[in-house]
């Protein structure tokens, strides 16, 4: 089953810009869940847009990539622009 690692973005210059990184098997359903306030606690109360996604063959690869992306602040800053 295909898995995806994704970066969501939310905010503007006044409220500040935030990014969120996660993994899923269904990008559209996961984005809808975040925007409905039912996703991760840190994503509640914001409107999110999909900024970036990568496809992987299995869950282990996706989770490993998510772990590395969360620690790469330069990459997150570049994608969020």
Report yes or no: 23 and 66 within 8 Å, Cβ to Cβ: yes
- Return the pLDDT at 7: 93
Q: Domains along the chain?
A: 3-79 (3.40.1440)
Render each residue's pLDDT in the chain as its tens digit; 81 residues.
899 999 999 887 677 788 899 999 999 999 999 999 887 888 888 899 999 999 999 999 999 999 999 998 888 777 766
CB 2 within 8 A of CB 25: yes
Q: Are the beta carbons of 48 and 32 closer than 8 angstroms? A: no
pTM assigned to the model:
0.86
């Amino acid at each position: 089953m295909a898995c995806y690692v994704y970066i969501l973005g939310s905010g503007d210059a006044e409220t500040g810009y935030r990014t969120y990184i996660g993994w899923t098997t269904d990008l559209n359903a996961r984005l809808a869940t975040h925007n409905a306030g039912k996703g991760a606690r840190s994503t509640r109360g914001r409107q999110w847009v999909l900024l970036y996604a990568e496809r992987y063959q299995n869950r282990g690869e996706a989770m490993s990539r998510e772990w590395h992306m969360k620690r790469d602040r330069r990459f997150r800053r570049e994608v969020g622009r």
